[in-house]
Amino acid sequence: MSELTGEPLIGLDTEFHRERTYFPHVALVQLAWSGGIALVDAPALDLGLLAPVLAGPAVFVMHAAAQDLEVLDRACGAVPVRLFDTQLAAGFAGYSTPSLANLVDGELGIRLPKGDRLADWLRRPLSEDQQSYAAGDVAHLLVLHHRLTERLGTDGRLAWAEAECEDLRQRALVRRQPDEAWWRIKEARQLRGQAVGFAQALAAWRELTAMRTDQPVRFVLPDLALVGMAQRPPRDESDLRQVRGLDGRHLRGGLAKEILDAVRRGGDLDRAELRFPPSVGEVERDLRPAVALVSAWISQLGRQLHIDSTLLATRADIESLVRGDDNARLAQGWRAAAVGDHIRRLVGGDAALAFDGNGGLVLETRSGRSL
């Protein structure tokens, strides 16, 4: 790791498995710097040695870094202090969530070596094809960083991209709260009343059990069974065995009692103890047309600026701003100046969207004159 000390830019990627585990099990760490490329055999080394480098001044260049950051946090106890995500940055240069292969081809005209992404990365020795594929994941990251920062700097969007990269890095530091685990169950978001308490307690128990046993949450308790129990809480083990989606493997070794205890805890929760997802309110009926109109304008603006429109604003972002949420993303940072302030003027009646005669929309100062 000493060779990385003092390097201003370091490309990084990981290969890991988590199909049958709760935590990602890292198999390989790929590093690229001015001196070359290294494939680090993660199970054979103490990856904690990488922590001081991650905490140093180097910019770590990664592609679609969200899961890799989780891997690094668990394996090294640290994530990069400075991050540049080429997938995020490419969105400000006209790409729409590109794969690394598409970005390298589009920017550098180079075809990355094909490989089996589902290969067993924990098996040793790695094949030559696996090593070539893994090296290709970091071989061009530093050149991509140079290309993208130069272009975004010229376009005045580099600060935007850097802010998004920092936001991604900060999200990696947020620990999942077991009491909020039910938010990730799509069907559970439709629950109301006491059913929310049952879902919250069952999902929290499932999350903690999955962590303790290092297995996917779906192995501990399927979503179907969890939502079913939230709607019709079982009273005893006989009821449990009638729950759709549950079978003997989910109830063995005292788990049946633990599930019933979680149900009882859920029934005892009062409303003050319930954890609801943020920004779940509805937009007032009178403002719904404004959301649709602004969404169309954002899509056009993205095309005009050659920016992935989802980076400018998602529909949820627009609804949050229109509702007046305190934490609305469009009211903060670069998005406020780029789109948020304009949307507020539009909804407030100080601006108007009009057709430009060529099928496009143009945002104008409102004349106040009716036809």
Give the CA angle between residues 151, 152, 154 to the nearest 5°. Answer: 65
Q: Report d(CA 272, CA 313) in Å as an integer.
A: 32
Quick one: pLDDT at residue 274? 95
**SS3 sequence of 60-74:** EEECCCHHHHHHHHH
Among 136, 142, 149, smallest CA distance to 11 is for 142
- Strand 83-85 with 25-33, pairing: unpaired
Q: Report d(CA 186, CA 201) in Å as an integer.
A: 16
Among 123, 104, 106, smallest CA distance to 114 is for 104
Q: Beta-carbon neighbour count of residue 75 at 10 Å?
A: 21
Q: 137 CB contacts (<8 Å, ≥6 apart)? A: 13, 30, 63, 100, 112
Q: What residues form DSSP beta bridges with 31? A: 12, 38
- Walk me through the domains of the chain, giving residue ranges and CATH numbers: 2-172 (3.30.420.10), 178-273 (1.10.150.80), 285-365 (1.10.150)
In three-state secondary structure terms, 203 is helix
- Return the amino acid letter for 78: A
For the chain, the average pLDDT equals 93
Q: Report d(CA 262, CA 254) in Å as an integer.
A: 13
Q: Report d(CA 268, CA 270) in Å as an integer.
A: 6
Q: pLDDT (tens digit, 9 = 90+) per residue, 303-358?
A: 999 999 999 999 999 999 998 888 899 999 999 999 999 999 998 889 988 888 88
- As a whole-number percent, the residues of the chain with pLDDT over 70 amount to 98
Low-confidence ranges of the chain (pLDDT < 50): none
Quick one: pLDDT at residue 92? 97
Asked whether 247 and 222 are in contact (CB, 8 A), the reply is no
Residue 26: C-alpha distances to residues 42, 69, 85, 248, 297 (Å): 6, 11, 20, 31, 43
Quick one: pLDDT at residue 289? 86
Q: Report d(CA 79, CA 145) in Å as an integer.
A: 19
Q: Prior bond to 8 cis, omega within 30?
A: no
Q: 53 CB contacts (<8 Å, ≥6 apart)? A: 1, 4, 5, 10
Residue 131: C-alpha distances to residues 40, 87, 254, 308, 365 (Å): 11, 23, 45, 33, 58
Give the CA angle between residues 195, 198, 200 to the nearest 5°. Answer: 105
Asked whether 197 and 269 are in contact (CB, 8 A), the reply is yes
| Alpha helices in 82-127, H assignment, sequence order | 86-91, 100-108
Quick one: pLDDT at residue 280? 54
Residue located via tokens 């962590």: 211
Q: Report d(CA 145, CA 138) in Å as an integer.
A: 11
Q: 231 CB contacts (<8 Å, ≥6 apart)? A: 191, 195
Quick one: pLDDT at residue 282? 66
Asked whether 230 and 162 are in contact (CB, 8 A), the reply is no
Among 151, 118, 124, smallest CA distance to 15 is for 118
Q: What is the pTM of this model?
A: 0.91
